Structure 1
Amino acid sequence: MYCQIPDTLTIREIKINKKVITTTLLNPKEVTRKELGKLYTKRWLIEVDFRFIKTVLQMDVFRCKTPDMVCKEIWVHLLAYNLIRTVMAQAAYRYDLPPRTPEFPRHVTAVKCI
């Protein structure tokens, strides 16, 4: 597999909002600067979501002992996260607010009380 990796790699650097994004997507007509900026934002939101899952939902340490149970533990955390985000999105839609808010821990507390 590694023998198929080229000796050199051509990259494209794009400056967006004081950040430089480096990509191997070379054709600006195929993927525009604006599209790359949106992709970067979405990627960053995923990182933030993972941080919330680890810290707020306390998935930073696995409590199960077997691989099968660890897998189930991960799925339970992801299901809980999606449930909370769905409730938040529905509430935001009802009040015409953006679905992503920084008040995630408060929503977790509310769901734990149910």
Structure 2
Amino acid sequence: LLPARQAKNRKNPFSDPVREVTVRIDTGKVLRILSNDLEAPAKEIADLYKRRWAIELFFRWVKQTLKIKHFLGASENAVRIQIAVALIAFLLLRMAQADQSMVQSPLAFARLVRANLMHRRRTDALLKPPPDEIASHQQLMLKWP
């Protein structure tokens, strides 16, 4: 059983019995896992924890790399669509970065693309200043007094 009190005056909300499973991971580090499943084999609990940890690492990668801070929808379909769109954008950005050799940092390249997103420019010319556009003689020009 876990202690009845967690900190000074804070009561422990979980009063059921638990069991400790000790696991040695590939690096040699020993993990202590507490579980309220008293009947499942230790191997099964360790495998469940390993799968859960892989999911945690995936969502950490999604938040850091794909810049998804929160999900726009709550349904499974909404989350899948948002992750798929972010992955597509991430892969397109990486492919565009591989196409050029001027900017080595993925972050710097992403910032350049973001700054030039609405301009029609080649990816190898993002660092060069935009060409001076010659105004068409057919375009109306406003002159302020």
Task: Please give the TM-score of this superposition, normalised by the length of structure 1.
Answer: 0.51
Cα distance, 1:41–1:7 mapped onto 2, change above 3 Å? closer
Shift of 1:61: 6.1
Rounded to whole Å, the distance in 2 between the matches of 1:54 and 1:24 is 30
**Does residue 1:15 correspond to 2:22, yes or no?**
yes
Letter in structure 2 aligned against 1:40: Y
State the match for 1:25 in structure 2: 37
Report the count of equivalent residues: 78
Contact residue 13 and residue 21 of structure 1 kept, 8 A = yes
Letter in structure 1 aligned against 2:42: R
2:83 to 75, 78, 85: 78
Q: Deviations over 1:50-94 (max 9, x none)?
A: 0111111111267xxxxxxx32975533224677xxxxxxxxxxx
Gaps of 5+ in 2: 1-12, 25-29, 99-145
Identical amino acids, percent of aligned pairs = 23
Rounded to whole Å, the distance in 2 between the matches of 1:34 and 1:55 is 31
Rounded to whole Å, the distance in 2 between the matches of 1:44 and 1:108 is 28
Report the secondary structure of 1:14's partner residue. Answer: strand
Alignment of 1:1-114 (within 5 A): 8-17=15-24, 18-27=30-39, 31-60=40-69, 70-71=72-73, 74-80=79-85, 109-110=94-95
Higher relative contact order (CA 8 A, sep 6+): 1
Rounded to whole Å, the distance in 2 between the matches of 1:77 and 1:112 is 22
Task: Please give the TM-score of this superposition, normalised by the length of structure 2.
Answer: 0.41
Rounded to whole Å, the distance in 1 between the matches of 2:97 and 2:70 is 19
Contact residue 53 and residue 77 of structure 1 kept, 8 A = no
